[in-house]
């Protein structure tokens, strides 16, 4: 029985997403590099958030909600996919865009995700802070109360770690799906490489892998906080997700791997290695990454490959979580 079976959910994801070998990268480095294509989940440009939204929206519908409220950075993929999911489910949707990234480029504010959010007709609010998750969530609650006075019923998809992370259930299930693919192909994974932002993906994935009796390291790549803070965040989320599922899987803190080597200069700001990794994968495999999440995650993997740490029989598995719509907000990546 799947660990997530008892939770209300809706179906938003094209699944199973492919698990493919990166042939050219593998040949170049003399090892096997796999990619789990969660950039192909199919919801308005795809990405990891469709798996997470299935559980939030399942609960929203169960509670009789008619409107979704959520918050995120200006180029948030979560916000874009929440709007798409709301439209698919026939719900109203309002989003709050936070001033989190110091970028003045007009494209950052108009192209990519905010363009798509406007195209899908969501009501947009703005929040002047970028590092105040609790405050941002609180404004959503106030808006929900306001809507209630108008006879509406809003469901808040929160951001801060103080809430039960139902979204992480999506990656408990995503990991189960991937483990089945690996077993079916008789592939013994050496290392998983995943992004770690709000930490729902990292937490759910780690739990899902361990619940499948697989002890392969799950290498979390920090995109928002340093490794120490992120490890704490994942540990808190692991406890909360285990509690809500009702399982007793002990994952020691030493098993929570957080790597902040690509974090600088900060959230939403790609460094040279990240830009290099984005161009490398685009030019070697025709696969697109984004500057905030998947580009930084693949950059960590590429650095490992360049160090020559892996052999012919190793299997590295990269979780591609999408985010590619935001490429259009970074035109300087291709400016000579
Ligand atoms: C494309 C992409 N990858 C990875 C992440 C990180 O996922 P999580 O917030 O579950 O850690 C996000 C989060 O917004 C994302 O948009």
Averaged pLDDT for residues 96-107:
91
Is residue 255 domain-resident?
yes
CATH code, 104: 3.40.50.1100
Asked if 216 and 314 sit in the same domain, the reply is yes
CA dist., res. 76 & res. 322, Å (int): 11
Identify the residue whose C-alpha is closest to ligand 1 atom 6.
197
Counting from 1 in the atom list of ligand 1, the atom nearest the Cα of 197 is 11
Asked if 229 and 321 sit in the same domain, the reply is yes
Q: What is the pLDDT of residue 103?
A: 85
Averaged pLDDT for residues 224-232:
98
Asked if 126 and 186 sit in the same domain, the reply is no
Q: What is the pLDDT of residue 9?
A: 96
From the CA of 201, how far away is ligand 1's center (Å)?
A: 7
Is residue 10 domain-resident?
no
From the CA of 13, how far away is ligand 1's center (Å)?
A: 16
Whether 201 is in the pocket of ligand 1, judged by its Cβ within 6 Å, is yes
Asked if 33 and 177 sit in the same domain, the reply is yes
Is residue 265 domain-resident?
yes
Q: What is the pLDDT of residues 77-93, one digit of tens each?
A: 999 999 999 999 999 99
Asked if 149 and 204 sit in the same domain, the reply is no
Q: Would you say 193 and 228 are in contact if contact means Cβ atoms under 8 Å apart?
A: no
Domain boundary among the residues 109, 129, 157 is at: 157
Whether 221 is in the pocket of ligand 1, judged by its Cβ within 6 Å, is no
Residue 336 confidence class, pLDDT cut points 50, 70, 90: low
Is residue 108 domain-resident?
yes
Q: What is the pLDDT of residue 18?
A: 98
Is residue 191 domain-resident?
yes
Whether 195 is in the pocket of ligand 1, judged by its Cβ within 6 Å, is yes
Of 50, 76, 111, 326, which residue is the catalytic one? 76
Asked if 130 and 199 sit in the same domain, the reply is no
Residue 162 confidence class, pLDDT cut points 50, 70, 90: confident
Asked if 293 and 191 sit in the same domain, the reply is yes
> Residue 281: CB partners within 8 Å, gap ≥ 6?
22, 25, 287, 288, 289, 298
Asked if 102 and 33 sit in the same domain, the reply is no
CA dist., res. 201 & res. 217, Å (int): 15
Asked if 223 and 258 sit in the same domain, the reply is yes
Domain boundary among the residues 129, 157, 185 is at: 157
Is residue 2 domain-resident?
no
Asked if 105 and 207 sit in the same domain, the reply is no
Q: How many domains is the chain built from?
A: 2
Q: What is the pLDDT of residues 133-155, one digit of tens each?
A: 899 999 999 999 999 999 999 99
Averaged pLDDT for residues 230-243:
96
Counting from 1 in the atom list of ligand 1, the atom nearest the Cα of 52 is 10
Asked if 150 and 258 sit in the same domain, the reply is no
Name the residue of 136, 195, 240, 288 whose CB sits within 8 Å of the most ligand 1 atoms, as the mutation to test its pocket.
195
Q: Reply yes or no on whether 76 is catalytic.
A: yes
Averaged pLDDT for residues 193-207:
98
From the CA of 233, how far away is ligand 1's center (Å)?
A: 14
From the CA of 335, how far away is ligand 1's center (Å)?
A: 26
User: Considering the entire predicted model, what is its pTM?
Assistant: 0.97
The half-sphere exposure of 251 on its side-chain side, counting CA atoms within 13 A, is 32
Asked if 288 and 305 sit in the same domain, the reply is yes
| Range of the structural domain that residue 326 is part of | 19-47+165-334
Whether 41 is in the pocket of ligand 1, judged by its Cβ within 6 Å, is no
CA dist., res. 333 & res. 336, Å (int): 8
From the CA of 132, how far away is ligand 1's center (Å)?
A: 18
From the CA of 293, how far away is ligand 1's center (Å)?
A: 6
Domain boundary among the residues 110, 137, 157 is at: 157
Q: What is the pLDDT of residues 175-197, one digit of tens each?
A: 999 999 999 999 999 999 999 99
Residue 303 confidence class, pLDDT cut points 50, 70, 90: very high
Q: What is the pLDDT of residues 274-294, one digit of tens each?
A: 999 999 999 999 999 999 999
Identify the residue whose C-alpha is closest to ligand 1 atom 9.
198
Q: What is the pLDDT of residues 108-130, one digit of tens each?
A: 999 999 999 999 999 999 999 88
Averaged pLDDT for residues 161-170:
91
Residue 2 confidence class, pLDDT cut points 50, 70, 90: confident
Residue 160 confidence class, pLDDT cut points 50, 70, 90: confident
Is residue 11 domain-resident?
no
Whether 202 is in the pocket of ligand 1, judged by its Cβ within 6 Å, is yes
How many C-beta atoms surround the C-beta of residue 11 within 10 A? Answer: 11
The mean pLDDT of the chain is 96
Whether 322 is in the pocket of ligand 1, judged by its Cβ within 6 Å, is yes
Q: What is the pLDDT of residue 131?
A: 86
3-state secondary structure the chain: CCCCCCCCCCCCCCCCCCEEECHHHHHHHCCEEEEEEHHHCCCCCCECHHHHHHHHHHHHHHCCCCEEEEEEECCCHHHHHHHHHHHHHCCEEEEEEECCCCCCCHHHHHCCHHHHHHHCCCEEEEECCCCCHHHHHHHHHHHHHHHHHCCCCEEEECCCCCCCCCCHHHHHHHHHHHHHHHHHCCCCCCEEEEEECCCHHHHHHHHHHHHCCCCCCEEEEECCCCHHHHHHHHHHHHHHHHHHHCCCCCCCHHHCEEECCCCCCECCECCHHHHHHHHHHHHHHCCCCCCCCHHHHHHHHHHHHHCCCCCCCCEEEEEECECHHHHHHCHHHHCC
Is residue 65 domain-resident?
yes
From the number of C-beta atoms within 10 Å of its C-beta (0-12, 13-18, 19+), residue 190 rates as middle
């Amino acid at each position: 029985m799947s660990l997530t079976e008892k939770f209300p959910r809706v179906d938003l994801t094209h699944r199973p997403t492919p698990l493919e070998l990166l042939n050219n990268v593998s040949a170049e480095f003399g090892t096997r590099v796999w990619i789990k294509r969660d950039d192909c989940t199919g919801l308005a440009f795809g990405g990891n958030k469709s798996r997470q939204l299935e559980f939030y929206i399942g609960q929203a519908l169960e509670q009789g909600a008619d409107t979704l409220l959520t918050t995120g950075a200006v180029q948030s993929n979560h916000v874009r996919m929440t709007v798409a999911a709301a439209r698919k489910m026939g719900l109203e949707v309002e989003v709050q865009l936070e001033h989190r990234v110091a970028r003045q480029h007009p494209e950052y504010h108009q192209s990519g995700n905010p363009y798509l959010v406007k195209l899908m007709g969501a009501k947009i609010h703005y929040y002047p802070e970028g590092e105040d998750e609790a405050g941002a969530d609180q404004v959503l609650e106030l808006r929900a109360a306001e809507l209630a006075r108008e006879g509406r019923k809003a469901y808040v998809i929160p951001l801060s770690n103080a809430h039960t992370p139902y979204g992480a259930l999506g990656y408990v299930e995503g990991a189960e799906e991937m483990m089945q693919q690996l077993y079916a192909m008789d592939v013994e994974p050496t290392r998983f490489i995943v992004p770690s932002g709000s930490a729902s993906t990292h937490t759910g994935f780690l739990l899902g892998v361990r619940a499948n009796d697989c002890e392969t390291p799950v290498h979390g790549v920090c995109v928002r906080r340093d490794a120490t803070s992120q490890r704490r965040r994942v540990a808190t989320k692991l406890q909360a997700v285990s509690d809500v599922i009702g399982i007793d899987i002990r994952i020691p803190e030493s098993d929570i791997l957080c790597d902040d080597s690509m974090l600088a200069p900060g959230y939403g700001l790609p460094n040279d290695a990240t830009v290099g990794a984005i161009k490398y994968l685009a030019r070697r495999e025709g696969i697109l990454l984004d500057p905030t999440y998947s580009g930084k995650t693949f950059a960590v993997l590429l650095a490992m490959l360049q160090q020559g740490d892996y052999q012919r029989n190793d299997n590295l598995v990269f979780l591609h979580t999408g985010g590619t719509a935001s490429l259009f907000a970074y035109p300087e990546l291709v400016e000579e």
